[in-house]
Amino acid sequence: MNDSQQRGSERARARRAELIAVGRKLFADTSYDALSMDDIARHAGVAKGLIYYYFSSKRGYYLAIIEDAVAELVERARSTHALPPVERVHHTVDGYLRYARHHQAAYRAIVTGGVGFDADVIAIRDRVREQLLTAMARAAWGRTDLPPVARTALVGWLAAVEGMTLDWLTRSEPPREVVCGLLVRALGDTLRTIEEHEPTCPAPERTRL
């Protein structure tokens, strides 16, 4: 690729990222069905054809926005490796809750499967869950292979996280710090239960998590 092609590719990536950023803001406040491609183009300040060029369709645009949101959520979970274990857990769970509050539409789409029964969004949701499980395993035990007992228990905890977060977003209570504390405590209990069944996955000290 020559310099001219590289600059063109960089401009294309930048423009695509700009359109996704606009879409994340739009879908945060307005439902999928309520937004037309004309609406999106008007808010983005571009011709409708440009959106079709990059994303093929409104659905393709929506899926790209969900993918972008997923990448941010997973990156938050992976960005705490330099912290001590207890701080890492609190930072990760609190960051997860902050993300859910500030990106409610994207979060709800990820967790509940998107618009209706959307197989593509469900596939994205399943992939992000796997990535979060891998991040948790690496943080807890320095490994990415999960024994069956550990995987089942962590999937259960993650399902509880999603359910509690959705309820918290709807009710706006209790305070985020309280929800974070509940989830961290539940994770500590889960890790200790895992250790009882799978000694190769030791839990942190009971007094600390």
Question: Percent of the chain scored above 90 by pLDDT?
Answer: 33
Q: For 52-78, how does the pLDDT look when each residue is reduced to its tens digit (9 = 90+)? A: 999 998 889 988 888 887 787 777 766
Quote the pLDDT of residue 196.
95
Q: 101 by DSSP, 3-state: which?
A: helix
Q: For 22-57, how does the pLDDT look when each residue is reduced to its tens digit (9 = 90+)? A: 888 887 767 777 888 898 899 889 999 999 999 998
Give me the count of residues in the chain: 209
Q: For 109-137, how does the pLDDT look when each residue is reduced to its tens digit (9 = 90+)? A: 778 765 556 788 788 888 888 888 888 88
pTM: 0.75
Quote the pLDDT of residue 163.
94
State the average pLDDT for the chain. 83
Q: Do 61 and 23 contact (CB within 8 A), yes or no?
A: yes
pLDDT band at residue 207 under the 50/70/90 scheme = very low
